[in-house]
A = this chain, B = another copy of it.
Amino acid sequence: MEKQTITIYDVAREANVSMATVSRVVNGNPNVKPTTRKKVLEVIDRLDYRPNAVARGLASKKTTTVGVIIPDVTNLYFSSLARGIDDIASMYKYNIILANSDQNDPKEVQVLNTLLAKQVDGIIYMGHKITDELRAEFSRSKTPVVLAGTVDPDEQVGSVNIDYESATEQSVTNLIAAGNERVAFVSGSRMEPINGIYRLNGYKAALEKAHIPFDESLVFEADYSFISGEAIYEKVEEAGATAAFVGDDELAVGLMNGALDRGVQVPEEFEIFTANNSKLTEMVRPKLSTITQPLYDIGAVAMRLLTKLMNKEETDEKTIVLPYNIANRGTTKGE
């Protein structure tokens, strides 16, 4: 009925030119006489014409849309990355299709497929673990992919991260230097490379340098939620730990609360080092000592890299490692 959409044709007729010309002015093609350009623009404005991006996408095979796969927008670590992604994306005139994956493997594959069906120009993936099936889908499609804050030992697609291993080693070393001989390692599943490989290796390296034997009973796996952090404190305490390195801020907050709620003083009786520097670390008391990752930048750089890939520009390096720092705040005794 009232599908009163106005098209490029209406503009053309009204301006007494061909649709090709209208298309040219809309796309900023210089081969248009200033006079006609002005006339066309006037009509466009008068008719309030708005180019149909879908038709455009069909004809040009570009949608100026990128897919973003995220485990959970509600997690500050990922939403901070997402913010960086979206800012750079809109700077380059791209839009973001955001899809929560819940780090559920089959759902991820399905989400990826609907994203590809929608002809996104590129994909940014955030997650914990890349299954073989997902990796296969990545390489099968010609759509560029960049991992943000996510590592895949098989470095086939672009990625932006920090050096989790050395950052962890440094954090744990600090904890040991402060006199803690039993430092717990609390993270998400060890099946995830970032935990099971990089962080754990950093942890072990720190122990080794201090000549402390690795003790399996000091390693804990949990969900990335403050609830499970609270629940796990008791076990950490029972294992005789006097400090903990935690792989996720929300988890760290939970762990700290688990201690505080039991009357344990932080950092006097129990020290904590967390890993992501999300704003959560500065909202709790005491403030969490943490590895200071540039979260926003990781997202931003990932998106920037993706634009290059989509543009088939030259890229020096597809595997980008950003610098980090260590911030000793309120949950560690060290200076």
Which A residues contact B (CB, under 8 angstroms)?
2-3, 50-55, 57-58, 61, 63, 65, 68, 72-74, 76, 79-80, 82-83, 86-87, 90, 95-100, 113-119, 142, 226, 250, 253-254, 257, 260-261, 279-280, 282-285
Which chain B positions have C-beta within 8 A of A117? 50-53
Whole-angstrom distance from the CB of A189 to the nearest CB of chain B? 21
Contact A260 B285, CB 8 Å, known A86-B100, A118-B95 = yes
Which chain B positions have C-beta within 8 A of A99? 86, 90, 95-96
Are the CB atoms of A96 and B95 closer together than 8 Å?
A: no
Complex CA–CA separation, A143 to B86 (angstroms): 24
Complex CA–CA separation, A285 to B263 (angstroms): 12
Which chain B positions have C-beta within 8 A of A115? 95
Which chain B positions have C-beta within 8 A of A80? 74
Most B-side CB within 10 Å, residue of A117, A280, A283: A283
Which chain B positions have C-beta within 8 A of A254? 283
Are the CB atoms of A118 and B65 closer together than 8 Å?
A: yes
Are the CB atoms of B226 and A279 closer together than 8 Å?
A: yes
Which chain B positions have C-beta within 8 A of A260? 285
Are the CB atoms of A283 and B118 closer together than 8 Å?
A: no
Which chain B positions have C-beta within 8 A of A50? 113, 116-117
Give 16 CB contacts A-B under 8 Å.
Answer: A50-B116, A51-B117, A52-B119, A53-B117, A53-B119, A54-B63, A55-B58, A65-B118, A73-B73, A74-B83, A74-B279, A86-B100, A96-B99, A97-B97, A226-B282, A257-B285
Known: A73-B86, A226-B283, A257-B283; 6 extra A-B contacts, CB below 8 A, are A53-B117, A54-B119, A73-B83, A95-B99, A96-B98, A226-B282
Taking CB as reference atom, which chain B residue is nearest A296?
B74
Are the CB atoms of B2 and A142 closer together than 8 Å?
A: yes
Which chain B positions have C-beta within 8 A of A54? 54, 57-58, 63, 118-119
Taking CB as reference atom, which chain B residue is nearest A282?
B226
Are the CB atoms of A53 and B98 closer together than 8 Å?
A: no
User: Which residue of B57, B63, B253 is within 8 Å of A283 (Cβ)?
Assistant: B253
Complex CA–CA separation, A55 to B59 (angstroms): 9
Complex CA–CA separation, A3 to B52 (angstroms): 23
Are the CB atoms of B82 and A73 closer together than 8 Å?
A: yes
Are the CB atoms of B86 and A79 closer together than 8 Å?
A: no
Which chain B positions have C-beta within 8 A of A95? 97, 99, 114-115, 118
Which chain B positions have C-beta within 8 A of A285? 257, 260-261, 284-285
Are the CB atoms of B63 and A74 closer together than 8 Å?
A: no
Taking CB as reference atom, which chain B residue is nearest A278?
B74
Complex CA–CA separation, A94 to B213 (angstroms): 52
Complex CA–CA separation, A248 to B280 (angstroms): 15
Taking CB as reference atom, which chain B residue is nearest A68?
B98
In the complex, the 8 A-B pairs of residues with the closest C-beta atoms, listed nearest first = A98-B98, A53-B118, A54-B57, A73-B79, A53-B117, A54-B119, A253-B283, A74-B79
